[in-house]
Structure formats: structure tokens, C-alpha cells
Amino acid sequence: MSIRNSHIAELFYSFIEKSILPKLSKTFSHPNHFSLLGLGIALLVPPGFYLHPLVGLLFMILSGISDIMDGLLARKKGLETPFGAFLDSSLDRCSDFCFLSGFWVLFRHSDLFIQASVLIFTAMFLVQFISYIKARAQSMWVECDTGLMERGARTVYLMVWAALLGIFPSFYHLILWSGLILFCLLCLFTVFQRFQHIAASLK
């Protein structure tokens, strides 16, 4: 079961739908408005991390909430369209890039900045590859929601990583490096999971 379909996620979505969406839907009347808002906030994540990990975390949370509200509003108003799904998915890839760029900013003073950059760009590649595999599979009529690090799990991971950096500054460098290495390994594992799933489905 993905995080998006978990009981906790359902409670969170219900809270947003009942408490936040009615207020903001007066200003943002179309789901695509929330999609664009989410991207706009995501662009603030790297400068937010430049100020402090918790500031970057705040922008990540706000961007994530906006991403949730576009789907909720689309279903509520019956505005689900193929273009809306395409736009949302495309902007999600941009947001993923912004989130990881925020963590890249945190390595700017590291003596191993080049090595960190290699790992960050590896993570970016793996994230995009995971999404590409799913899109390619769906084009062949194969469902591919499998894999440990689907987008919901990746976003939660990054938020927890940022929170730990802000809450435990004494272990800053340990959390920063171990968080990045573990993220890359989990994403690589997810790539293998999806390849295995698709290979089995196509057989």
C-alpha cells in the first residue's frame, strides 16, 4: 500500500478538504491554479533551505498541500481532465527537482561539495527515472504503483530528513550525508522493484 492510500493520508486529506480547501477555493477556483501554486511554492524551497532547513521544510509542506488540493478540487467539482492530470504530473517533476535542489544548497560549505553534487544529481536522475518507468509502463497498459519510494514516500522522506536537520543541529553533517546516501539507495532499489514488476506483468 502506498502512503497516498494509507489511513493516515486519508485523515490528512479529509482535514484539508474540510478545513482548508473551502477557504482557498474561493481564490483558486480551478485545480490547475493549485498545481501552479504548488510549483511556485516549490521554487522557494532552495532559498528557504539557504536560510534554514526548517524554512525549506515549511515551503515543502505548503507545496505538498497545494499538490493535494488540486486533486481534491478536481474531484469535488468534476473537473478531472486528461490535461489536468498531465499538467499535475509534469509540475510534480519540477517540484521534485526543486526539493532536491534545496538539499543541494545545504552542501554548499562542505569540503566534499563535488561528491555531494554527484550524489544529488544521481538522486535527481533516479527520481525522474522512477517516474518515467511508471509513465512508460502505463503507456503499455501496465499499472505500476509498486515500489518503496513512490512519490508520496519520497516527499515524506525528504520532509523528515529536513526536520531532523533542523531539530538536531549537533548531528547536522551526519544526518545530511546519511540522509542523501540512504535516499539514493532506496530510489535505486525502487527502480529495480519497478523493472521486476513490469517484466513479470509483460510476461
pLDDT tens for the 203 residues of the chain, in order: 566 666 676 777 777 877 787 777 777 778 888 899 999 999 999 999 999 999 999 999 999 989 888 888 888 877 788 888 888 889 999 999 999 999 999 999 999 999 999 999 999 999 999 999 999 998 889 888 888 999 989 999 999 999 999 999 999 999 999 999 999 999 999 999 999 999 999 88
CB 34 within 8 A of CB 17: no
Per-position b or e across 178-200, b if 16+ CB within 10 A of its CB: ebbeebbebbbebbebbeebbee
Q: CB-based burial of residue 143 (10 Å sphere; 0-12 exposed, 13-18 middle, 19+ buried)?
A: exposed
Query: Percent helix, strand, coil in the chain (nearest 5)?
Result: 85, 0, 15
Q: Residue 75's CB: how many other CB atoms inside 10 A? A: 12
Number of compact structural domains in the chain = 1
Show the domain range for 48: 3-202
Of 56, 83, 87, 64, whose CA–CA distance to 13 is shortest?
64
- Which CATH number goes with the domain that contains 130? 1.20.120.1760
**Catalytic (active site) residue 92:** yes
- Pick the catalytic residue from 70, 92, 96, 111: 92
